[in-house]
Amino acid sequence: MEEANQVAQNFFGSLDAAKAIAAAIAIGVGAIGPALGIGKLASKAMEAIGRNPEAAPKIQTAMILAIAFTEAIAIYALVVALIIKFV
């Protein structure tokens, strides 16, 4: 572990800088997937409602549930970024 700290200090200047960069990368990459997923979910749901307006309540319920699960992945990425930053 000491060797890893030394490598980080030599490359980034300090361990805090390395942690900040790692946390930024973790949340940045971890937010891309859910953002694309939620966009695609909403797009397809609106398309489905446009084709079959009578099914809107069922489609909307399923869409909101899927968006909640997709958003959970972004929250996991945030937790990982916070752990990297503060531990």
d(CA 77, CA 37) in angstroms, rounded, equals 15
Task: Report the predicted TM-score, pTM, of the whole model to 2 decimal places.
Answer: 0.73
Element (H or E) spanning 4, and its range?
A: helix 2-12
Type of residue numbered 22 = A
pLDDT in tens, 37-85: 999 999 999 999 999 999 999 999 999 999 999 999 999 999 999 999 9
The answer to whether 41 and 67 are in contact (CB under 8 A) is: yes
In the chain the domains, ranked by start, together with CATH numbers, are 2-86 (1.20.20.10)
pLDDT at 6 over 90: no
